[in-house]
Amino acid sequence: MDRDGRTGESGRVSAAQRDAWQGDTSKERLLTDYERLIKDFCALAGLRDHESIAVGAPIEVDGITCSITACRQNEANAVVLYVEFGAVPSGREASIYEELLVQSYVGAPDAGVMFGYSPVAKHVVCVQHLRVNEITPQRLVDILRHIAEKAVEWRRTYFLKPLETRAPGANKLVSAGTRALLGGARALSSVKTTR
């Protein structure tokens, strides 16, 4: 049978015809959109072993551990990025986790960004869902760098408002949720959507 579905004169496909047809079929054409995106991303970023990276092998982005996987519900068409933000300091868990819940509430609907806790790493992880057909390999590089920058910022501030910028008489750190209620949308300036 040839590629157009035609068989030889006898109506049968010879082993040689089948092998030639299978050999002609390029592996590139068999890649899903997700696999092609990851392969092209790895080539652009100078990363080896795109197959391992496509199934979550860790990569470093500006010193921050990240991984990329296909979305379990839509493996061929959706990407899930995991970026390790780090450990929560002892004694500040309540205010930090509250802020992360607010950030997830604000970021999940529009940007697909959520925060979670990795039981394996015992660290806060930022998770972002993206559609394969809406990003390019360069855009994936840019998004990972942006989230890595946010991880560095989080390790410094935990996205909490510093003491010196609080209103007089305030004796607690103010969460973004409180800032949003008191100061409007610009209070959430520490959360930026990807470009």
Position with higher pLDDT, 142 vs 194: 142
Average pLDDT over residues 99-103: 94
What's residue 163's pLDDT?
62
pLDDT in tens, 69-83: 999 999 889 999 999
**Mean pLDDT value of segment 153-171:** 74
Model confidence band, residue 29 (pLDDT cutoffs 50, 70, 90): low
Taking the C-alpha atoms of residue 125 and residue 65, their distance in angstroms, rounded to an integer, is 10
Compute φ and ψ for 80, nearest 5 degrees. Answer: -120, 125
Taking only the tens place, the pLDDT of each residue in 38-81 is: 999 999 999 999 999 999 999 999 999 999 999 999 988 999 99
* DSSP secondary structure letters along 18-62: HHHHHHHS-HHHH--HHHHHHHHHHHHHT-S-HHHHHTT--EEET
Kindly report the average pLDDT of the chain as a whole number.
78
State the pLDDT confidence band at 5, using cuts at 50, 70 and 90. very low
- For the ranges 10-19, 119-128, 153-162, 165-174, the lowest mean pLDDT is seen at 10-19
61 HSE (CA, 13 A, CB side):
27
Domains and CATH numbers, the chain: 15-159+170-188 (3.30.1460.10)
- Give the pLDDT band of residue 164 (cuts 50, 70, 90): low
124 phi, psi to nearest 5 deg: -75, 140
CA–CA distance, 82 with 125 (Å, rounded to integer): 6
Length of the chain: 195
Of 103, 106, 42, 54, the closest CA to residue 78 belongs to 54
88 Cβ partners below 8 Å, 6+ apart? 96, 97, 124, 158
